[in-house]
Structure 1
Amino acid sequence: MAALAVPALALLAWQRTPQVQTVETPQLAAVRAGEFRDELPLRARVEPLRSVQLDAAEAGRVEAVLAHEGDQVEAGAPLYRLHSPEQEQLLMQRSAEVAQQMANVSVQRSAQAASLALNRRELAQLQAAQTESQAEYQRQAQLAAAGFVSPAALEQAERRQRLAAQLLQQARQDLRLEAETRQQSIDEMARAVQGLQHGLQLLERSRERLQQRAPIAGQLSGFQLQVGASVRPGDRLGRIDDPASSVQLVADVDEYYLPRLQIGQVATGPHGDLSLAQTLPQVQGGKVRVLLRWPQAAAPAALRPGQAVDLRLQLSAPRPALLLPEGPGVQSRLYVRQGRELRPRTVQLGRTAAGQVEVLAGLQAGDEVLISQPPSQAERLALP
C-alpha cells in the first residue's frame, strides 16, 4: 500500500505545481556594445535639377501629337495640337461682331460727312442772308438820314438785320453742338470696336496656343499624350528636362520624421555623399518629400532621370551605445534568458534606426533577449 501511495502523492504534487509555458520558436539576440547610427533608409529617385513642367493652357481634344516620350526637342518645337470647336465658334462670333461694329462706324462716319456738308450749305445761306440784311439796313439808314425813308421803315430794316445775325449765331452754335455730339458717338463706337478687336486678338492668340510648343530645349519626359484625348487647362502633361543642368535625388519620408529633418543633413549612397537641400512642407498620404543634392559639380554623370537610388540619411551624429536588433519582443518589458528560462525585465529603450534599438538602461552587454513575440506575459517562460 505504501508503495502505491508514493506515486499518487507525487502525481498530485505535480498537478498542483504551476506549469511553465514553453516558447516554441524563440528568436534570441545578444545585447552588444557598438555605435548607434541614427540613420533613415530611403529609396530615392533621380530627377533633373532644372526642368519645366508642361501644363495645358487651353481646353480641347488632341488632334495631333508631334513629339514623344524621351525625344530631344528644341525650344519652340511643336509638341501637340488641340482642336476646340467651342473656340472656333467663339472666334467666328467675335469676328462677325467686329465686322458689324466696323460697318456701323463707317455708316456713322458717312452720315456725319453728309450732315456736315448740309450744315455748311445752311450756314452759307444764313451768312448770305445776314450780309444782305446788314447792307439793307445801311441803305435804309442813309435814306432815312436824307429824309427819303420813314423811321418805321428804318426800324423794320434794323429788326431784320438783328434777326439775321441772331439766326446765324444760333445756327453756328447748333451746328457745333451737333458735330461734337456726332463725333463723340463715333469715338465711343470706335473705342468699342477697338475693344472687340483686342478681344479678337486674344482669341486668335489662344487659338495659337492650341499648338503647344517647347518652352526650352531638352529631353521630353513623362509625356504620354494620345490623339483623341481631352485636355483641360492646368492638366499636367509632362516636363522638359534641361540637359545642361545637373541632377538631384527626391525621396518620400514618413511624416513622423518631419520634426527631425534639418537642412544640411548628410545622406550616404553608392554615388557619394549628398546633403538635404529642401523639405517640401506639403504632407500627402502621410509622406513628406525631400530634395537631396550633391555638392556643386559632384553629381555622377552616369545617373539618368527616373533611376532609383538607395540612401541612408543621417539624422544625428553616431554615438557609443548598447544595441539590440529590432523585433516585436523588444519592448519596455522584455524577456531575458536565465539558463533554460526567460524572465521578464523592465528596461529603458532609446531610438530605433536601421533595424537597431538603443538600450539606455536595464541591460548589459552579453545579455540574451527574446526579440520575437512572447506567447504570454507570464513571469517565467521556458526554452525548448
Structure 2
Amino acid sequence: MNIASLKAASSATTDRAVSGSQMDKVVERRGLSRNVKIAIGAGAVLVLASLFWWFMPGAGSQTVTKNRLTISTVQTGRFEDFIPLRAKVTPLLTVYIDSIEGGRVDKVLVEDGTDVVAGQPIAMLSNAELQLSTLARQTEVEQQINNMRSQELALSQTRLANERAILDAQLALTTARRQYEREAPLAAKGYVSGKQFNDTTDNYQYQQRRLAVLQRSQASDERLQSGQLDQQKASMKSMSAGLGIARTNLDALNLKAPVTGKLSGFSIQIGQSLQRGERIGQIDSPGRNKLQAGVDEFYLGRVQVNQSASVDWNGKTFRAQVMKIYPQVQNGQFQVDLQFLGDEPQGVQRGQTLQAKLTLGDPAPAKLIPNGAFYNESGGAYVFVVAPDGNTAVKRRVRLGRRNPDFIEVLDGLDAGERVITSPYTGFADKDRLDLSNAKE
C-alpha cells in the first residue's frame, strides 16, 4: 500500500469518528454487586469483633502470672489458738516517790540503784515557809488551849458561886419554914400578932421563890457555858488536826523509802529546789518481775484476765497468766501484764525482751489454710480458689474463724484439698476471676 492510499484511509476514518454517525458499543464488565460487597464487609467486621471479644479480658477478670502468687492447699488438722508476744521484763511492783512538800535539797543520803528498806531516810529537804506556817499553827492551837482552860476555870468558879448561893437560899428557906411552922398554930390561937405572922409568911414565900430563881439561873449558866466549852473543844480538836497535818508535812521534808526494794530514777542534787508533788524516783520490788506485752487490737475482745501463757527461756518453759489488761489502743495495739506462776526465769534483766505465747483457747480439729497477707485485704470474707487445671482462680465467699501466726481456721466455704491464693490481693481484689499465666512479666 502506498503513502497516498494510507493517507486516504486515515482521512476517511477521521471523518467517520468526527461525524458520530456510528457509536462504539459499551462493553458491560462483570463483577460483585453493591449489596454483596456490603454484606461481605459487614461479615468481616462481625468476625473481627467476635475475635476481639473472645480474646479480650472480661470486666471482672484479670490475667495474673503464677510466679507472683502463693497458692496453698486447704488441709485438716488441729488448730492451736494462740498469739505470740514480745514481752518486756519489768518489776512486779513499782512504788513512785514524790515530794509531798516542795523545798531545797540539803542532804542526799543514798545513791541511785541502792537497795533500801522501808522507812530508810534517803534525802533531807528544808522549807522555811512551811516551818513558819507550822509554828503559827502551833501558836494558834496553844492560844485556843489557853482560852479553853480559862473558860473551864470560869465555868468552875461560876458553878461554885451558884452552889454557894443555892446553899444560902436553901438555908434561908429552911429557917423561914421553921419560923412559919412555929408561928402558924400560935397565930391561930391569938398568941402571935397578925402583923408578925404575915411578915413570917411573906418571908417564907420569898425564900421559896428565891431558891427557884437561883436554881433556874444555875441551870441556864451551866447550859450556856457548857455549850461554849464544847465549841472550844471542837475548835481545838480541829486545829490540833491541822497542826498534826502541818507537822506531818514538815516531817515529810525528810524523805524516806516507803517500801523495801531497789531505788531507781533517783537523781536529785544538793541545792536543787523541788516542787510540791514532783517525782524524784521509784522503788522496784526486789526479785519479783512481770512481763509487759503489746497485743494486736484484733484480739482485744478475746484476751481475758487469768488466761494462760508460756515463756521459753534457755530451753525451759515457764508458766504465766494475764494479770491486767490496758484497753487503750495505741498504734494498733493494747498492753497486757503477765505474771509468772511459780518459778521465774533466772538471769533475766529488767528491760530484756522475751518471747511469750498467749493461749486463747483449747486445740481443736479444724480445716486450715496457711495464714497469709490476703486476710488484710479480704478481711476473711472471700478467697480466690484455684481451678483444678490451675489456669483460673475464682473469687468465693467463705467464712473464716480463729487464726494464729501459722494457720487460719476455715468454718465454711472450702473443702479439704482445694487450693487458694494466700498471697496479697493487691491489684485484683475487685475482680471476680483471675486468668493464671505461666509467662513471666
Fold shared by both chains (TM-score > 0.5): yes
1:18 alignment partner AA: M
Which residue does the alignment assign to 2:394? Answer: 345
Q: How does 1:239-258 map to 2 (within 5 A)?
A: 239-243=282-286, 246-258=288-300
Shift of the 175–37 alpha-carbon distance from structure 1 to 2, 3 Å rule, reads closer
CA deviation string 1:119-158 (max 9, x = no partner)? 57766876787788789989999x999x9x9614532552
Partner of 2:327: 283
Identify which range, 82-91 or 164-173, moves more after superposition: 82-91
Q: Is the 8 A contact 1:279 1:288 kept in 2?
A: no
Which of 72, 78, 97 is the aligned partner of 2:121? Answer: 78
Q: Secondary structure at the match of 1:309?
A: strand
Q: How far apart are the structure 1 equivalents of 2:408 and 2:159?
A: 100
What SS class does the counterpart of residue 301 from structure 1 fall into?
coil
Please say which of residues 298-307 and 24-33 is displaced more in the overlay. 24-33
Q: Which has the higher contact order (CA 8 A, sep 6+)?
A: 1
Report the equivalent of 1:4. none
Query: Are 2:56 and 1:18 equivalent residues in the alignment?
Result: yes
User: Of residues 384, 387, 393 in structure 2, which corresponds to 1:334?
Assistant: 384
Unmatched 5+ stretches in structure 2: 1-44
Counterparts of 2:344 and 2:319 in 1: how far apart (Å)? 12
Q: Which residue of 1 aligns with 2:18?
A: none
Cα shift at 1:213? 2.8
Give the one of 343, 356, 364 matched to 2:417.
364
Q: Is the partner of 1:302 in helix, strand or coil?
A: coil
**Is the 2:101–2:252 Cα contact (8 Å) retained in structure 1?**
no
RMSD (CA atoms): 5.0
Q: Distance in 2 between matches of 1:37 and 1:323?
A: 13
Q: 1:303 to 1:34 in 2, by over 3 A?
A: farther
Equivalent residue, structure 1, for 2:37: none
| Counterparts of 1:29 and 1:357, CA distance in 2 | 15
Q: Which residues of structure 1 form unaligned runs of 5+? A: 1-8
The answer on whether the counterparts of 2:308 and 2:322 sit within 8 Å (CA) in structure 1 is no
2:262 counterpart letter in structure 1: Q
Matches within 5 A, 1:185-264: 185=227, 187-188=229-230, 189-209=232-252, 211-221=254-264, 227-232=272-277, 239-243=282-286, 246-261=288-303, 263-264=306-307
**Is residue 307 of structure 1 aligned with residue 352 of structure 2?**
yes
| Aligned residue in 2 for 1:380 | 435
- Paired residue secondary structure (1:31): strand
**For residue 392 of structure 2, what is the amino acid of its counterpart?**
R
Q: Distance in 1 between matches of 2:409 and 2:175?
A: 122
C-alpha distance in structure 1 between counterparts of 2:245 and 2:267, whole Å: 29
Tell whether the 8 Å contact from 1:54 to 1:240 is kept in structure 2 after alignment: yes
Q: Quick one: distance in 1 between partners of 2:283 and 2:388?
A: 64
8 Å CA contact 2:159, 2:222 repeated in 1? no
Q: Does 1:27 align with 2:82?
A: no
Match of 1:177 in 2: 219
Larger Rg: 2
8 Å contact from structure 1 (residues 48, 248) kept in 2: yes
Counting matched residue pairs gives 365
Deviations 1:83-117 (A, max 9, x none): 77886676455434423322322333444455456
Matched, 1:324 2:324: no
1:354 and 2:392 are equivalent in the alignment? no
Q: In structure 2, what is the equivalent of residue 3 of structure 1?
A: none
